[in-house]
Amino acid sequence: MLAAAVTGTALLAGACGGSSLATSLSACGSGHIYWADIHGPAPIGRARLDGTDVTRKFITGTAAPGMIAVSADYLYWANWSSGAIGRARLDGTDVNQRFITGASSPVGVAIASGYIYWANNAAGTIGRARLDGTGVAQRFITTAQANGPDAIAVGSGYIYWANDYNIGRARLDGTDVDQGFIAVPYGPQGVAGLAVNSRYIYWTNEQGDEIGRARLDGTGADQRFIAGAHSPDAMVVDSRCIYWANFGSGTIGRAWLNGTGVSQRFLSVLGHPRGVAVDLGR
């Protein structure tokens, strides 16, 4: 259900690398950032991208929410313990905790080209359905690990997922599967979050407290593109900034796309944030 807003102020810390507060408040757009807390009392929260108007109980009634994703009109999340994908409008109304059912401990969720994709952690598969919830395929892609993956991301014609020691990739139609597209350290607790834009793929190294980056063809991998995170989990990028969930410290981190202006405590969200997503003011 939709819960009332909780009065609070975000902890701003150099928001996205601006040299002054006035610069930081508008640096990353006028939309919203959403987060999911798998263990805390406020499952899905929301704030403006400048860190203000914090609503810690934006959507409640979730079932151990994992990662979240945003389309033009809706917010989607993985209900890990109930095996379902939830959905609500971006204003928090029309909440449906069982929009898609039959998943296997889903964690990651992503949106692209009229489809929703999710990671079936307990089955080692990627599921897919149309954005209206029809055409469900729980075994659209089989990953390289029996128990996993957590993170998935879509962009530039591909879907990416986290295997134990590497990042896998396939075309959006499920063909050209490459289970070892990019190697990562710290397996089996390596990649927790993934994000893609038109130039790069980014990932969180959960055990190493780092964020990595590579070109879309998999070259130029930098495992320590951003350091100093706190058990980073899900992440997302927009046209200017990178955001990540610091599971260990109960904060959202943020930086410019080039890795500068890092703020590990851009938002203090309490609990243990796992999912993070942004819209652009829709």
- CATH code assigned at 194: 2.120.10.30
Let me know if residue 125 belongs to a domain.
yes
pLDDT at 86 over 70: yes
Boundaries of domain holding 67:
60-248
Let me know if residue 259 belongs to a domain.
no
Let me know if residue 39 belongs to a domain.
no
What is the per-residue pLDDT for 150? 87
State the Cα–Cα distance between residues 246 and 139, nearest whole angstrom.
30
Say how many domains are in the chain: 1
Let me know if residue 47 belongs to a domain.
no
What is the per-residue pLDDT for 25? 38
Go through 21-59 and write b for each residue having 16 or more CB atoms within 10 A of its CB, e for each that does not.
Answer: eeebbebbbebbbbbbbbebebbbbbbbbbbeebbbbbb
The rounded mean pLDDT for the chain is 87
With H, G, I as helix, E, B as strand and everything else as coil, classify residue 190: coil
102-119: average pLDDT: 95
pLDDT 10s digits, 14-59: 344 433 333 343 456 679 999 998 876 558 999 999 989 999 899 9
The two tokens of residue 156 are 């530039």
State the Cα–Cα distance between residues 152 and 24, nearest whole angstrom.
29
What is the per-residue pLDDT for 29? 67
Let me know if residue 24 belongs to a domain.
no
**pTM beyond 0.85, yes or no:** yes
Q: How many residues does the chain have?
A: 282
User: Residue 133: left (phi > 0), alpha (psi -120 to 50), or beta?
Assistant: left
- CB atoms closer than 10 angstroms to residue 215: 12
- CB atoms closer than 10 angstroms to residue 101: 14
State the Cα–Cα distance between residues 282 and 277, nearest whole angstrom.
13
Handedness of CA 118, 6, 262, 23 (dihedral sign): positive
Let me know if residue 18 belongs to a domain.
no
What is the per-residue pLDDT for 146? 72
Let me know if residue 26 belongs to a domain.
no
Let me know if residue 96 belongs to a domain.
yes
User: Lowest mean pLDDT: which of 42-46, 101-105, 113-117?
Assistant: 42-46
214-237: average pLDDT: 96
